[in-house]
Amino acid sequence: MTLYETIFARRQVRSYLSTPLDSKTQEDILDFARKAEQLEGQTVQLQIVPADQVSGGQGAPCYLLAFCEPNAAAYANVGFVLQKVDLYVQSMGLGCGWFMSVKPKESNNNFCIALAIGRTEQPMRKGAEEFKRKAPEEICSEQNAVTQAVRLAPSSLNSQPWTLKFEPSKITVEDFGRGVKRIILKNKLNKIDVGIAARHAVIALEKEGASVGSVTAKDGKDFKILISYKQEGTR
């Protein structure tokens, strides 16, 4: 299953088998994660640890921990990188889930969020119809493969705090988190979610034959991620 296909089948896995993952699989996942494209100018540090090295564990045998600077662009970068890992892990037939409650036992102020990884008996979804998401037109007036992929991106509290804007050779994914959910999520998770949505947009663009150039976070009154690309056959 490709990463694009996995977008339409993934789920947040909350139940794991206790079977440990072999070291080769863990090394493969960590290597994939460290090679994932990042937002321009951003860096995330990653490590895989066994369950006995975290608090708030969810029953998974291991966890991918992400560390970054405490700012909006860095949080978005974590979402951008880890969502590619989430899709990769689930494309392998393993379970994966995002958890803010999981934390390294060894305190680190730059810790951001964790992915639980392990075998599971929870089946993948059979298609887009099994997702509970906003109507496509609430995300963007233009409906295409990118819109559909972004619509299915996971988010905290299923808040989907983003909108899409299409311009020639450029897509803008904007933080549209509002109201009580924005307060509950303290902006940090909103930024992670916008990064996740941007990853789905990039994967869909590449599936459509586009060559993706820069992917850049812009902070200001409204936080956004700008994706530049060239469609195949254009100059």
Cα–Cα distance for residue pair 114/121, rounded to 1 Å: 21
Cα angle, residue 133 at apex, residues 130 and 136 outer, rounded to 5°: 110
User: Could you give the strand order of the β-sheet that contains 45-50, starting from the edge strand earlier in sequence?
Assistant: 45-50, 62-67, 111-118, 95-99
Q: 139, 186, 183: which is closest to 160 by C-alpha?
A: 139
Residue 165, classed as helix, strand or coil, is strand
pLDDT digits (tens, 9 = 90+) for 209-223: 999 999 999 998 889
Contacts of 233 (CB under 8 A, 6+ apart): none
pLDDT digits (tens, 9 = 90+) for 129-179: 888 898 888 899 899 999 999 999 999 888 899 999 999 999 999 998 655
Q: Within the chain, how many helices (H) and strands (E) appear? A: 7, 10
Residue 167, classed as helix, strand or coil, is strand
CA distance readout (Å), 110 to 2, 48, 140: 32, 16, 34
pLDDT of residue 66: 98
pLDDT digits (tens, 9 = 90+) for 184-233: 455 789 999 999 999 999 999 999 999 999 999 999 888 999 999 998 75
Per-residue pLDDT averaged across 83-111, rounded? 96
Residue 132, classed as helix, strand or coil, is coil
Domains of the chain: 3-118 (3.40.109.10), 130-230 (3.40.109.30)
* Count of beta carbons in the 10 Å neighbourhood of residue 69: 13
pLDDT digits (tens, 9 = 90+) for 26-78: 999 999 999 999 999 999 999 999 999 999 999 999 999 999 999 999 999 99
